[in-house]
Amino acid sequence: MMLLHKFKVVILVALLSVVFLGGCTTLPKTGPDTEPAIRQQVDLVPEGTELDVEVYDPIEGFNRGAYRFNHYFDKYLFLPVVAGYQFIMPDYFEDRVSSFVDNVYEFNNFTNNLLQLKLKKTGITLSRFVINTTVGVAGLWDPSTHWGLRRQPEDFGQTLGHYGVGHGPYLVLPIFGPSNLRDTTGLVTDTVAFAVAGPPAWVDDDTTTLVFTGVSAIDKRKRMPFRYYGSGSPFEYEQIRMLYTKKRELEIAR
């Protein structure tokens, strides 16, 4: 239940920050000598045009703050820890860890494929878990993929999307990064389900769960090449917001 508790804290902090920072203006500060730009959106885009880049983002001030926070969190804590992990672990063992982590999280793929009544994919996921846990020695290897049983990733955000729930306001979660109201709801639900009915409940040992949570977080960050402010574009926030939203649409349509 450690995990659940941690989550509550994160969500609480996020909500409080929304209250305090959400009101921050995102408009530039003008003065008496301010003049409009020569080229403005109103003149360049026909009225009523819907633009992908204009993702619904009512608490942009907070989101930009969280985006900055994540940059610092990465820089001073997360990435150094990941680098230390990579320094200590031989690549071969890192791959075993990745395999193991993926296998444990098949629980969420299974429940969400089932909830979406994707029976074939549910079956594949179940077979993968059984094969990888036995032949793959507790999931350290992934023989299923070699035999053509590919991973079928689904999460509760996708399940909600599958049943027609829209993405809602865009959110940048502290530590977790780009999300939206639908996907955050999904993340919380998946985490709770995982903790209450998934592998941590089967093992029922707080220390094991805690170690697993930490290692899986490091492993997942390691596999994610994304770096905040790493694109070299002044519009990175806008581009990530648009691409995240599009990417999730594609994943839900799948």
Partner 1 sequence: MRPWLTSIVLSLLLGLPAAAIAVDKPYFYPYVNPLEATVMELPPYYHADIPDKVPTKTFKVYPFPEREIPKVFWYEDGLICSLTYQKKEAPLIFIIAGTGARHNSPKMLNMQKALYQAGYHVISITSPTHMNFIVNASSTMTPGNLREDAKDLYNVMQLAMAEVKDDIKVSGYHLTGYSLGGIQSAFVSMLDEEKKVFDFKRVLLINPPVNLYTSVNILDGMLENIPGGVNNFDAWFDNVMKKLAEAEKKMGYFELNGDYIYKAYKRFPPREDFLAALVGISFRTDSASMIFASDVMKGGGFITPKNVEMSNSTALTPYYVAANRTSFEDYFKGEFLPFFQKSDPSLTEEKMIKRLSLRSIEPYLKSARKIGLLGNEDDIILAPGEIGYLEQIFGNRAKIFPTGGHCGNMNHQDVVDFMVDFFAGQEG
* Residues lying near partner 1 in the complex (CB under 8 A): 24-31, 33-41, 44-46, 49-54, 57, 60-61, 64-65, 68, 71, 150, 229-240, 242-243, 246, 249-250, 253-254
Distance CA 247, CA 241 (A): 10
Comparison of 28 and 90: residue with beta carbon closer to partner 1: 28
* Residues whose CB is less than 8 angstroms from the CB of residue 194 and which lie 6 or more positions away in sequence, other chains included: 3, 105, 107, 108, 200
Closest approach of Cβ 24 to partner 1, in Å?
5
Mind giving me the DSSP string for 131-189? Answer: HHHHTTTTTTS-HHHHTT-------HHHHHHHTT----SEEEETTTEEEEHHHHHHHHH
Closest approach of Cβ 74 to partner 1, in Å?
13
Comparison of 8 and 246: residue with beta carbon closer to partner 1: 246
User: Which amino acid belongs to residue 4?
Assistant: L
- Closest residue by Cα to residue 157 from 172, 179, 140: 179
CB atoms < 10 A from the CB of 24, how many?
Answer: 12
Closest approach of Cβ 47 to partner 1, in Å?
12
Comparison of 52 and 205: residue with beta carbon closer to partner 1: 52
Closest approach of Cβ 4 to partner 1, in Å?
31
Comparison of 60 and 200: residue with beta carbon closer to partner 1: 60
Query: Scanning the structure block, which residue is given the tokens 């609480």?
Result: 12
Closest approach of Cβ 240 to partner 1, in Å?
6
- Rg of the chain, C-alpha, whole Å: 21
Comparison of 26 and 208: residue with beta carbon closer to partner 1: 26
Closest approach of Cβ 156 to partner 1, in Å?
20
* Residues whose CB is less than 8 angstroms from the CB of residue 93 and which lie 6 or more positions away in sequence, other chains included: none
Comparison of 41 and 134: residue with beta carbon closer to partner 1: 41
**What SS3 class is residue 26?**
coil
